[in-house]
Structure formats: C-alpha cells, structure tokens
A and B are shown apart, each in its own frame.
Chain A
C-alpha cells in the first residue's frame, strides 16, 4: 500500500533579534503544532534561531520564472535609482 501524503510546510527562522525571518527549508507535518516541533528538531539543532515561522507550502503564491523579464527588467534600466548615478565632488566629502 502506498504511504499517504502528509502536507508540506515551508520553514522560516529568525537567527537573532533584529534580523528578518529567512527561509531555511521545508518539512512534512500533519498540522501546525507538529510542523513547529519538527522545524525545531530539523532546523535548530545548533542554536540557529530564536523564532520559527511555518507556512503551508500551498499558501505561497510565487512569481512565474517564465515571466522574470516582465517582472524585473523594468528596474534594470533605471540606474538613476541608485546613489552612484549622481556625481558629488570630492571636496563635499561623504554624503
């Protein structure tokens, strides 16, 4: 008999206070409580985090890699959005 599928969760961990939660991987669990416990065991065995988020994988909406160009290319040509685009004379010092 095939093993029944158990839902997939994505795990996010905040490594120190002040830093954002970062995606570290995924795991299988039947509910949120077990997902948190499994995340603790799988992803924080060496003090990697102070806070864990678990999110059902199917709750994430992702951008389509095939539409990468449409999504991100418009920003590439706008170099005037970066501070290095502007010339400030050396005499002015750090700005």
Chain B
C-alpha cells in the first residue's frame, strides 16, 4: 500500500565516481530507459532506492498490524474474509518489495534486522491506533487511496524491478480502496451511532493521511536527485492536492464532513486545505506517535517467536541435502 515521505534521496555521493559513466547513466534516464539490476548506476542512486524500497516494504509489513487488530472483530463473515484477504495482500506487497530491494545488493534479512533495530523508517500513518471498526473503513478509503496516488507514478519509476513490483501492487490496491469505501458507505447510511462512528474516524485520520505525502515542497531539500533520476515524478504537494481534490466529492457523497472548516474551492476547482501541523508529523517520525513502540514491539515479538521455524526449516533442508549426498 504505502510509500510516503521517506522518498528522500541521499546527499551528493559522487566524489569518486566516473563522470563519464554518470553522464551516460543520466542520458539513459532522460531517454526513459529502465535501469536493471546489473547495470551500472551511481552509488547514491543505489542507496536512495535501497532505502526507499526497503522502507516501503517495512510499511507494508507494519501496516498489517492496525488492520489485523480488527480481523477477529469484523462485523460479518463477508467483512472478515475481505479484511483477511487485504491483510494477506499487504504481506505479499511487502515481499515483492523486499525482493525488489534485494536486486540492489542488500539481503532481506539485513533490511528486516535494520527495521527491528529501529534504524529504518516505515510510513508514519501506522503509528496511529485503530480504535473502532470505522477506522478499517477509513484506512481502506483514505490511507490506501493516498497510497494509490503515490504509487501509480512509481509504476513508471526508472528502476525496473521497483516499477514492476508497483504495477502488481497497484492492481491489488484498488480492491482495498473499494472495500474501505463500502464500509464507510454502510456506516454512513446506518444508524445515527454508526454515522457518528464514521465521522469520528474521518476526524482522527484526515490530517495524518495528508501528512503521508511528506513535507511541503518548500521544506523538502532532498527531492532534487529523486526527480532528476525519475524515481519521483510528482512533488509531495502536487500529489497531496490531487488526493484532496479526488476525496472531497467522495466525502460529500458519504455525507461526512472533512475536519477542515477553512477549506475552500478555488477558481481552478482545487480544494485548498488549511495548514498541516508538521510538528505532529515530525514527532511521529521521531518515534513519538501514539503507537510507535507498540508497532515495533509487535514486529520484534513476531520475529523472535518465528525464529525456531526458520531454524527448523533450514535444519530440515540441510538434513535432506546430506542424505541425498550420502545416497
């Protein structure tokens, strides 16, 4: 589902690189050529992508936690089956993305260990709690909706394995958003309490969702290389605006109110939102959101409790190999 503000590129790192090769590389990028794993690439391109793709993968995996919270309490078997399928998709997305990151020369185990050690980021949005069933609706509708806005352009990213993984992810993502919207629609057409629950969830998630697109363009210093390398095709603010413009009519259809009384539509038809509280965003990224510690603790617990399975599977494979060698 989710890539976000983590797509910043690394600072100039080209001191010892061959200027001719770097120039040839840029010519290929400018010609919309795709870069493949064994092609020469600048070290900073490799580093930026390894970080971006692995953080995107971590986001998919951590993203299973807030939704997994409601699987046992889904209101019907239909909802439960859909939520299970969605959470399973997120796991699959994480795995496609780890595989794409590995083509750049890092191992999945090493990337996962960095995340468990708290040294790699994941999307800030998963550090918010899912307090009611309506939160599952909002996550599908808005969090996945925002992720789709971010991810569609990534299908044309200059790095082949990442672009191919994103094409697969985007195909599956559309089901996620629709199931979320359907949950919201059911609640919005339900009892007064259900409608209030839907509104409350929208009130809590709206601003964190807008933050998913990352810092405003004037404050983000790192996008230049990512844009030049065609990893990033639209700026944070451009994508955020597209998302807001697409979402306002959907909220109106649901009969829900976006918690931004100052919002106005300009002559061009764009909805202008109020200032985002970037202090909150920075605090969550720094580890002080409502659920940061819980999320990391849950991932560590799952990893540690799965250690015996990994060991047993490796031991079994080794035993079979030895038997075959002896026979």
* A interface with B by C-beta (< 8 Å): 2-6, 8, 25-31, 34, 41-42, 45-46, 62, 64-66
Contacts of A31 in B (CB 8 A): 313, 316-317, 320
Instruction: Give Cα A8 to B108, complex, Å.
Output: 10
Q: B65-102 interface mask toward A, CB cutoff 8 Å, 1 = contact, 0 = none? A: 00000000000000000000100110010011001001
Q: B228-262 interface mask toward A, CB cutoff 8 Å, 1 = contact, 0 = none? A: 00000000000000000000000000000000000
Knowing A25-B99, A25-B165, A65-B39, the reply to whether A6 touches B92 (Cβ < 8 A) is no
Contacts of B95 in A (CB 8 A): 27, 42
Instruction: Give Cα A26 to B37, complex, Å.
Output: 14
Instruction: Give Cα A27 to B95, complex, Å.
Output: 7
Given contacts A3-B113, A25-B99, A42-B96, 18 further A-B contacts (CB under 8 A): A3-B109, A3-B112, A3-B303, A3-B310, A4-B310, A8-B102, A25-B165, A25-B168, A26-B99, A30-B310, A30-B314, A30-B316, A31-B313, A41-B88, A42-B95, A62-B38, A64-B38, A65-B36
Contacts of B96 in A (CB 8 A): 25, 42
B221 at the interface (CB under 8 A from A): no
Instruction: Give Cα A5 to B108, complex, Å.
Output: 8
A47 CB to closest chain B CB (Å) equals 13
- The residue in chain B whose Cβ has the minimal distance to the Cβ of A62 is B38
21 A-B pairs within 8 Å (CB atoms) are namely: A2-B109, A2-B113, A3-B109, A3-B113, A3-B303, A4-B310, A5-B107, A25-B99, A25-B168, A27-B99, A28-B108, A30-B316, A31-B316, A34-B313, A41-B88, A42-B95, A42-B96, A45-B89, A45-B92, A65-B36, A65-B40
Contacts of B102 in A (CB 8 A): 8, 26
Contacts of A41 in B (CB 8 A): 88, 92
B241 CB to closest chain A CB (Å) equals 32
Instruction: Give Cα A25 to B92, complex, Å.
Output: 11
* B interface with A by C-beta (< 8 Å): 36, 38-40, 85, 88-89, 92, 95-96, 99, 102, 107-110, 112-113, 164-165, 168, 172, 303, 310-311, 313-314, 316-317, 320
B86 CB to closest chain A CB (Å) equals 11
Contacts of A45 in B (CB 8 A): 85, 88-89, 92
Asked if B39 contacts A42 (CB within 8 A), the reply is no
Count: A-B pairs, CB below 8 Å: 57
Contacts of A2 in B (CB 8 A): 109-110, 113
Contacts of B320 in A (CB 8 A): 31
Which residue of A5, A42, A64 contacts B109 across the interface (Cβ within 8 Å)? A5
Instruction: Give Cα A34 to B320, complex, Å.
Output: 13
Asked if B39 contacts A30 (CB within 8 A), the reply is no
Instruction: Give Cα A53 to B38, complex, Å.
Output: 23
Instruction: Give Cα A45 to B39, complex, Å.
Output: 32
Instruction: Give Cα A65 to B34, complex, Å.
Output: 13
Contacts of B40 in A (CB 8 A): 65-66
Which residue of B109, B110, B168, B317 contacts A30 across the interface (Cβ within 8 Å)? B317
Instruction: Give Cα A54 to B144, complex, Å.
Output: 31
Contacts of A66 in B (CB 8 A): 40
